Chain A
């Protein structure tokens, strides 16, 4: 019996959210008095996988099948299910990402496991059952969920678990084959289109986000958002009307009908803070609001605020960040 951790890799590197997942999984293993094994998906290098030791992982299973570079639901599900069976995994931990949700839900049926997504804390264990805390009602509440049965799958929300770093510890990387066949790749993507991300930081993975709304007045002013984001090492985002009128691409739109983010720092510039916008950002650890209207609803959800004109305030903030370093 063990804990199996699914780590997603991209461009050879383990994704930040998977470092969090690895830390979560190894702490669960410790709770249960067992070891943590990871299984890698995506494009990985052995050196980077070995570094998962720093997050408490003992062993990493790695199938070098080149077609696993891109996400293929059928193949990933089989790969992870095979690893789970080989390792007799009673708990599987993965990221609450698009990949994690797609695979985790299939795995739960295949392995007859109970599943909790959007999980924000380590489980409380009692007898054979687990209780995990998960976000619900679009960030407006939490639910404590009891997971029954012999096997459990937990999808961990991004930025909700601190990644462990025990410098110098390495994991053993073991080659592994799930004997994947062509049939397992039937739903392989025909084409993968990566979108330009300002500063190369992926919005769903980012731990700092600078976001602009209609108060930015037009796309020509977005350099103010980008400059601050770049200085901070943050991703950029926007409100829905901004992407609706094509000032910014759809993949930057956060909120109820856009991407949900939970960074450590969310800076909202010229955004009113409508409830649908808040639904996608309200679980951010620290929220900063810049708005010239002191009555803007966003101030109620904010930790820090500046009542002022974004065109005046943003350059000052960027300047102040540059002076820090």
Chain B
């Protein structure tokens, strides 16, 4: 089985979000970038399946050179090789085109990614890749088992889950509790340095959407504290003042 795992490079979860003075771009200064947390589920599960049943795991990132430390981290966790499409990820469609082109060229059987990226929160790329390749997408998947060419997945639906069976090739976007994401060990970090990382140029059309500007939500007014003895007062405030009950 040839696994292709797509990872994106995102600001660490605890980052305080700020923008450039014109509000057109995220302010990267002093920010630590990590592998998108949802993608770690995809990566770890692909490695587990490879270890159990054989195959290869290729990581793919659409990004500029500054994403390479996190690509190396994915190699250290256990991927075999990596591809970086050398381009700023302009929008979901642009990224999906790159992934679909690589997937097609390399004849990958299973294409995994995280449910969404924690910066853009698009939750779009999986379906676009599936449609571009004309193969099924299962999103968001909480469980993935493979037996030969057939995959059994649990897909989250509002209020429950579905068991879906598809044959490779397919795309799945992953979320917990699929597996326990792994962290690199020393040996992994050492071997990652020598694993192949191929850089290719982007293909396809440009983006279909453009961020005109970013904004922060209005600051909270500050918390209104109600004494514990008088807890019932809160309910009156929620009805009469906040008008939510």
Binding site for B on A (CB under 8 A): 10, 15, 70-71, 73-74, 77, 96-99, 101-106, 108-110, 113-118, 131, 134-149, 186-195, 197, 202-205, 208, 232, 250-251, 256-258, 264-265, 275-276, 279, 283, 285-286, 288-289, 299-309, 312-313, 316-317, 319-321, 323-324
The answer to whether B86 has its CB under 8 Å from any CB of chain A is: no
Binding site for A on B (CB under 8 A): 11, 13-14, 17, 19, 26, 37-38, 92-93, 96, 118-128, 130-132, 136-140, 142, 155-166, 175-177, 208-217, 220-221, 223-228, 231-239, 242, 244-245
User: Within 8 Å CB of A15, what residues of B?
Assistant: 158
Partner among B37, B139, B216, B232 whose Cβ is within 8 Å of the Cβ of A320: B232
**Which 6 residue pairs across A and B have the least CB separation, nearest first?**
A105-B127, A308-B228, A320-B232, A189-B162, A109-B131, A316-B231
B217 touches A142 (CB 8 A): yes
The closest CB in chain B to the CB of A111 belongs to B131
Shortest distance in angstroms between A293's beta carbon and chain B's nearest beta carbon? 13
User: Within 8 Å CB of B161, what residues of A?
Assistant: 192-193, 195, 251
The closest CB in chain A to the CB of B212 belongs to A144
The closest CB in chain B to the CB of A17 belongs to B158
Shortest distance in angstroms between B144's beta carbon and chain A's nearest beta carbon? 14
CA distance A205 to B121 in the complex (A): 19
Given contacts A135-B121, A304-B226, contact A115 B92 (CB under 8 A): yes
A308 touches B231 (CB 8 A): yes
Partner among B13, B159, B237 whose Cβ is within 8 Å of the Cβ of A275: B13
B158 touches A250 (CB 8 A): no
Q: Which of B37, B211, B223, B236 counts the most A-chain CB atoms under 10 A from its CB?
A: B223
The closest CB in chain A to the CB of B23 belongs to A144
Partner among B119, B158, B162, B227 whose Cβ is within 8 Å of the Cβ of A137: B119
B162 touches A321 (CB 8 A): no
B160 touches A195 (CB 8 A): yes
CA distance A30 to B212 in the complex (A): 24
A149 touches B208 (CB 8 A): yes
Q: Which of A194, A258, A288 counts the most B-chain CB atoms under 10 A from its CB?
A: A288
User: Within 8 Å CB of A144, what residues of B?
Assistant: 211-215
User: Within 8 Å CB of A71, what residues of B?
Assistant: 157, 162
Partner among A108, A139, A289 whose Cβ is within 8 Å of the Cβ of B128: A108
A289 touches B244 (CB 8 A): no
Given contacts A136-B119, A144-B212, A250-B177, contact A208 B244 (CB under 8 A): yes
The closest CB in chain B to the CB of A195 belongs to B160
Given contacts A148-B208, A256-B118, contact A115 B13 (CB under 8 A): no
CA distance A136 to B23 in the complex (A): 13
Partner among A106, A141, A194 whose Cβ is within 8 Å of the Cβ of B215: A141
- Give the interface SS of chain A, mostly helix, strand, loop or mixed: mixed
B93 touches A115 (CB 8 A): yes
User: Within 8 Å CB of A188, what residues of B?
Assistant: 164
B211 touches A147 (CB 8 A): no
User: Within 8 Å CB of B235, what residues of A?
Assistant: 317, 320-321, 324
* Selected A-B contacts with CB under 8 Å, 24 pairs: A10-B159, A98-B155, A101-B124, A104-B127, A106-B130, A117-B123, A117-B124, A136-B214, A140-B216, A140-B217, A146-B211, A146-B212, A148-B209, A187-B164, A193-B160, A202-B158, A257-B175, A264-B244, A303-B224, A304-B223, A304-B237, A304-B238, A305-B226, A312-B231
B244 touches A265 (CB 8 A): yes
CA distance A15 to B157 in the complex (A): 13
CA distance A141 to B26 in the complex (A): 10
CA distance A142 to B217 in the complex (A): 7
A257 touches B127 (CB 8 A): no
User: Within 8 Å CB of B123, what residues of A?
Assistant: 96, 101, 105, 117-118
B234 touches A147 (CB 8 A): no
A189 touches B155 (CB 8 A): yes
The closest CB in chain B to the CB of A204 belongs to B158
CA distance A110 to B19 in the complex (A): 34
B242 touches A304 (CB 8 A): yes
A109 touches B125 (CB 8 A): no
A286 touches B244 (CB 8 A): yes
CA distance A313 to B171 in the complex (A): 47
User: Within 8 Å CB of B26, what residues of A?
Assistant: 137
User: Within 8 Å CB of B158, what residues of A?
Assistant: 10, 15, 97-99, 202, 204-205
Shortest distance in angstroms between A323's beta carbon and chain B's nearest beta carbon? 8
A138 touches B245 (CB 8 A): no
The closest CB in chain B to the CB of A201 belongs to B159
Partner among B122, B130, B160 whose Cβ is within 8 Å of the Cβ of A194: B160
B121 touches A192 (CB 8 A): no
User: Within 8 Å CB of B175, what residues of A?
Assistant: 257
CA distance A265 to B142 in the complex (A): 28
CA distance A131 to B209 in the complex (A): 10
User: Within 8 Å CB of A97, what residues of B?
Assistant: 158
A145 touches B127 (CB 8 A): no
Shortest distance in angstroms between B59's beta carbon and chain A's nearest beta carbon? 20
User: Within 8 Å CB of B208, what residues of A?
Assistant: 108, 113-115, 147-149
CA distance A251 to B166 in the complex (A): 24
CA distance A83 to B15 in the complex (A): 43
